[in-house]
Amino acid sequence: MKAVILAGGLGTRIAEESDYKPKPMVEVGGRPLLWHIMKSYSKHGIKDFVICLGYKGYVIKEYFFNYYRHTADLEINLRTGEAAVLDTQAEDWTITLIDTGQDTMTGGRVKRVRQYLAEETFCLTYGDGLSDIDISREVEFHKSHGKLATVAAVQPPGRFGVLNMGQNANVTSFEEKPQDEIGWINGGFFVLEPSALDYIEGDDTSFERAPLANLAKDGQLMAFQHHGFWQPCDTLRDKRELQALWDAGSAPWKA
């Protein structure tokens, strides 16, 4: 099974870093978000990746082009320029890097890589969210219901505490960042049949809008409820929170 990763957006909300590189290349624990996501899939036996490039895609290409040697012990003859790899810690992944356009929307990016998916069930996710989701269980759930699409449903923690008040403005209870403040949302980890891509018209189609809405309307979209850790890295604050978890040795997504 292949995993498609959307890695072509601008990442304007974390411009402090995305001015210089794609958001999936923002580092947590000395590794790009993209690498962490791929490690999560690899943990569940999915090691064949199709990465949809766009904004500053060359940065991602250069990272993986040099990855083998950057993770290796080398012996270099400075006189001849010859180099021998003594040992490498590189993962056994196969990565297909496809330029899907600078301004292409998420749906358009996925449609552009359809030819690389061998018309088989595949996973899809964004290049900026970390989670400890059980991908194997989600795939099993998808295969069990026979629909075209499965989306991971998550309940993000609220940003603010909630006050419950009585008629006289007295506070009856206080909940610090309740988990169910906004209910279930799209967690960004999908399992799809190739024919689900028929719901995408072209480059200007956002996958999160008409395609998902129409899949749901046709009874072809199922939700896999994930109750564990999930957090996007949209802002510098998000990055610092993820880094703090990593530094404390308590990163739930760590494979």
pLDDT per residue as tens digits for the range 81-139: 888 888 888 899 999 999 999 999 999 999 999 999 999 999 999 999 999 999 999 99
Q: Do residues 23 and 128 lie in contact, with contact meaning Cβ atoms separated by under 8 Å?
A: yes
Which residues are bridge partners to 26 per DSSP?
Answer: none
Mean pLDDT over each residue of the chain, to the nearest integer: 90
239, 208, 246: which is closest to 15 by C-alpha?
239
**CB atoms closer than 10 angstroms to residue 128:** 28
What pLDDT, on the 0 to 100 scale, is given for residue 169? 61
What pLDDT, on the 0 to 100 scale, is given for residue 192? 98
* 38: helix, strand or coil: helix
What is the rounded CA–CA span in Å between residue 162 and residue 169? 14
Q: Which two tokens stand for residue 227?
A: 């109750």
Please write the tens of the pLDDT for every residue from 134-149: 999 999 999 999 999 9
The 94-99 sheet, strands edge to edge:
94-99, 48-53, 2-7, 122-126, 185-192, 149-154, 221-225
**CB atoms closer than 10 angstroms to residue 58:** 13
What is the rounded CA–CA span in Å between residue 65 and residue 43? 22
Lowest-confidence segment of 15-19, 139-143, 195-199, 236-240 by average pLDDT? 15-19
Supply the DSSP symbol for 14. Answer: G
What is the rounded CA–CA span in Å between residue 125 and residue 227? 18
Backbone angles phi, psi at 4, to 5 degrees: -95, 130
65, 195, 196, 52: which is closest to 125 by C-alpha?
52
Side chain identity, residue 242: L
